[in-house]
Structure 1
Amino acid sequence: MREAVEDPGQPAKAPGGSGTLPAPRLGRFVLLAALLCYSSVTLLNILSSHSSVVAVAAATLCLLGILGLQVLHSRPGAHLASTRQKALTLGVQALLTYLPLLVFRTQWGSMAGFLAGSLLLLLPPRQAWLLYGVVGASMLAPPLLVDLPVVETFYYVQSTLLTGLVIFGLTRLADLIRVLHETRGELTRVAVTQERRRFARDLHDLLGYSLSAITLKGELIHRLLPAHPARAKSEVKDVLTMSRQSLADVRIVASGYRDMSLEDEVGSAQSVLSAADVRVVARVRTGRLDQELETVFATVLREAVTNVLRHSRATFCEIAAERDAGQVRLIVVNDGAAKGHRDPHRTVVAAWATCRPGCAPSTAA
């Protein structure tokens, strides 16, 4: 079985083949690009303010500090930090946000939007949205201090709130892309595991039965050789047929698809059980079945006969496959439950499967 190994940094195919999922690194790059763009606009405002070199240098350091803290707050799992750590980083970001406002005022741009976005990312929803609104309202002060018109005052409030939403949304989208890729990888691993289990179950059903049958036939041939060489030769032909069929079954299982015939399986079961000195009575009155249902019933019969051979000391086995009142039922009954069976008080072990046309079959043993 081949397993596909993909680079997690590369775009992944979306379910249904409708497109591709962006790589997690692309989501983080878009977020970082947006942060740099907002910061560069504010830096240009500072450089064009004609302030002193010391003021410009201090504002630039504050800007770099805010940018670094925002990257820290936007990293995956940042909301899982301790309350003390979140209070410390948010407090420092608030100081770096509001202190330059005393000097640069409206030219400080929408740096308060970084703080608003960090609050949404780190705090519980109710508290976060309340403080988000407070940060937006706080941006009414700088325009009022320089007597700007109402429209421009509203612009600074709105830009701050919008910046916070953009940072919050881009961070969450980057996290979502990462989670989708991790989930997709996990689903791939689960699918591979399930396929391995299916392969193991099919091999158990096929080879367990076939090898048990070949063993019984071999023992029968060993007993027949001295007195009945002609019959022993006939049994050798059956062994060769079973071995070839087993090889073909293994190849079919490896390809992931196999059809089985209930009638052929009943004939094989009669031959194998008879070789084990088990008297067999078989009735097959199902009529024509869908191939899928016939394969299911043939598989159940094979497993039931395997259990009879391995886990019982049966001398009699009845196989009945009949259609009645819109149902098809397969029953396998034997008279030799082993002592180690989970229900030692019963002397009859039955394996059955029923199905109505058009429904999924149910089985029990």
Structure 2
Amino acid sequence: MPVPDELSHDDVTGRRDREERPEGAAAQHIPIAPRFATVILTSALLSYLGITALNIAGTGLGPLPMAICLLCLGAIFALQLQHSRPGADQVSPLRKRVTLSAQAVLTYFPVMAFESQWGAMAGFLAGSLLLLLSPRFAWPMYGAVGLSMLAPPAIDGRPLIDSIYLFQSTLLTGLVVYGLSRLASLVRQLHETKNELARMAVTKERLRISRNLHDLLGYSLSAITLKSELIHRLVLTQPQRAKAEVEDVLALSRQSLADVRRVSRGLREMSLQSELASVTELLEATDVKVTTEVRLDELGPEVNTVLAAVLREGITNMLRHSRATVCSIEAVQDAGRVRLVVTNDGVAPVYRDTSHDSGAGLQNLAMRLRSVSGRLTVAHGSEGTFQLTAEAPVDFVPAPRESREGTGRRPLAEESSPLPCTGPAA
């Protein structure tokens, strides 16, 4: 998910409004689609209630029976709203039994008074059974409710066709209530899932930017610090060399600024060969004896960038967490794989950086290498040496779905388990 370079005033204002909105208000806010699905469900339930009320009104009941009828209809409507709401099937079994029993009483008791005219309410009971009970019990009971509606027309002395009609309409009403209730619930779940995916995408983008900033700026800032200390020592005794080091610091600062500007679009493309020359120059300037063995041909852009980041972070790790005097760098390509090994001395055998800002450079690099089917290993050697080894296939080809994203750069390794810490923390 690329991050835009500039945000409009409306974007900033909208984001600020969302951040300042109380959690309670955010929880009460329901998107249009779920509300619309709920309105459709409620309208359908009211329509069935209206049809039943009209049928009862046509029987010529007196005021008291009509009032009782309307009260029963209102109670059934309230119970059905409870049964049709999202999450109703997650309530306790006791509560389900109580509400379903109440709805069954309100459904079958008036049948004795209104006979087949009350039959539509049996469809609500059938739908509630499907909504609240497991399929093993719900569907047989749903069928039983439909079969029970064959009796009222027969008791009323009406033709068989009326019994079949009431049986069929009861089952159909149950399916409509069940379908619309599930639809409203699924629409709400869909929007909640969409919001959760958006939050996950934002979190992953923040992690990506944090990882890239760590990998890009850790080396540059460490180099600037070391060169500044060197300048402090040389400024009085060797002003010409101090001036040259100042120019290097300015170049590093400009590069760091450019890296920060690019980081929102993904880690910039890097070259292992160029990084080898850069770190060799830096280590020699800090009086570290460097030996290199380089046997490389053409590397794929993904692998080239990842190994350059590994080398940069490995040197940053060494400068921050050791007093190295000797460093060897090996970059060898053989049999379709490339191996990068960085070894240095000056590490205490029992060293472990537990400070709050010790970083996560090794974990980041392990994640990056996994993204190109490679692996990272670290190990202590004898006499306080530390070795970092990275291996990867030369011609790694990213998956088509991930090969290009947003502004044209594939993000490197979004997820992975942390690397066991067997060496100095980065």
Give the TM-score taking structure 1 as reference length.
Answer: 0.89
Structure 1 residue 219 displacement after superposition: 1.6
The answer for unaligned runs of 5 or more in structure 1 is 12-22
- Deviation for aligned residue 1:345: 5.7
**CA 312–257 in structure 1, closer or farther in 2 if over 3 Å, else same:** closer
Q: Which amino acid aligns with 1:238?
A: D
Q: 1:315-344, CA deviations, whole angstroms, 9 ceiling, x for partnerless residues? A: 222222222111122222223333444666
Structure 1 residue 185 displacement after superposition: 1.3
- The match for 1:353 is 391
Asked if 1:89 corresponds to 2:99, the answer is yes
Between 1 and 2, higher relative CO (CA 8 Å, sep ≥ 6) is seen in 2
Query: How far did 1:251 drift?
Result: 0.9
Task: Choose which of 298, 317, 321 in structure 1 pairs with 2:331.
Answer: 321
Aligned to 1:199: 209
- Residue-by-residue CA offset, 1:92-114 (whole Å, 9 max, x unaligned): 21111112211221212311011
| Structure 2 residue aligned with 1:163 | 173
Structure 1 position 305, deviation (Å): 0.8
Match of 2:318 among 300, 308, 320: 308
User: Secondary structure of the equivalent of 1:337?
Assistant: coil
Q: Quick one: distance in 1 between partners of 2:387 and 2:162?
A: 86
Shift of the alpha carbon at 1:68? 1.0
1:26 aligns with: 36
Match of residue 220 from structure 2: 210
Quick one: which amino acid aligns to residue 353 of structure 1?
A: E
**In terms of mean alpha carbon deviation, does 87-96 or 74-83 score higher?**
74-83
Q: C-alpha distance in 1, partners of 2:187/2:260?
A: 41
Q: CA deviation at 1:80?
A: 2.6
Query: In the alignment, which residue of structure 2 is the partner of 1:272?
Result: 282
Matches within 5 A, 1:121-270: 121-270=131-280
Could you tell me how far apart the structure 2 residues matched to 1:354 and 1:318 are?
Answer: 20
Q: Secondary structure at the match of 1:318?
A: strand
Residues 68-87 of structure 1: pairs in structure 2 closer than 5 A: 68-87=78-97
Match of 2:30 among 9, 12, 33: 9
Amino acid of the structure 2 residue aligned with 1:350: L
Counterpart Cα distance in 2 of 1:194 and 1:355: 26
How far the C-alpha of 1:312 sits from its partner, in A, is 1.9
Shift of 1:36: 0.8
Q: Which amino acid aligns with 2:393?
A: C
Verify the 8 A CA contact 1:304 1:351 in the aligned structure 2: no
Tell me the TM-score normalized by structure 2.
Answer: 0.77
Uncovered stretches (5+) of structure 2, i.e. residues with no partner: 19-25, 353-378, 399-411
Deviations 1:30-49 (A, max 9, x none): 11111011111111111122
1:46 aligned partner:
56
Query: Displacement of 1:149 after TM fit?
Result: 3.2
Q: What CA distance in whole angstroms lies between the structure 2 residues aligned with 1:91 and 1:70? A: 12
Query: Which has the larger displacement, 96-105 or 329-338?
Result: 329-338
Deviations 1:109-164 (A, max 9, x none): 31101111111222233222222122111101112113333333222111111211
- Corresponding pairs, count: 354
2:134, 2:388 → 1: CA distance? Answer: 59
CA distance in 1, matches of 2:221, 2:380: 27
Deviation at 1:216, TM superposition (A): 0.9
Kept in 1: contact 2:154–2:163 (CA 8 A): yes
* Contact 1:115-1:164 within 8 A present in 2 as well: yes
Q: CA deviation at 1:260?
A: 1.5
Q: For residue 330 of structure 1, what is the aligned residue in structure 2?
A: 340
- Amino acid in structure 1 at the alignment position of 2:238: H
The superposition leaves residues 62-97 of structure 1 with CA deviations (integer Å, 9 ceiling, x where unpaired) of 111111110111122222333332222222211111
Secondary structure (helix, strand or coil) at the match of 1:277 reads: coil
1:55 matched to 2:55? The reply is no
Contact kept, 8 Å, 1:337 with 1:349, in 2: the verdict is no
Letter of the 1:320 partner, please give it: E
**1:270, CA displacement in angstroms?**
0.8
SS of equivalent residue, structure 1 residue 338: coil
Give CA deviations for 1:284-339 in whole Å, capped at 9, x if unaligned: 43222232222111111111111111122222222222221111222222233334
Percent of aligned positions that are identical: 53
Q: What is the aligned partner in structure 1 of residue 403 from structure 2?
A: none
Aligned partners of 2:120, 2:130: CA distance in 1, in Å?
16
SS of corresponding position for 2:348: coil
Q: 1:242: Cα distance to partner?
A: 0.6
Counterpart of 2:61, as a letter, is S
Q: CA deviation at 1:359?
A: 4.6
**SS at 2:51 equivalent:** helix
Secondary structure at the residue paired with 2:120? coil
1:104 pairs, out of 108, 114, 117, with 114
**In structure 1, C-alpha distance between the alignment counterparts of 2:261 and 2:350, rounded to whole Å:** 34
| Rounded Cα–Cα distance in structure 2 between residues aligned with 1:10 and 1:141 | 45
Q: Which residue of 1 aligns with 2:363?
A: none
Task: Give the Cα–Cα distance (whole angstroms) in 2 for the partners of residues 327 and 344 of structure 1.
Answer: 24
Alignment-derived partner of residue 20 in structure 1 = none
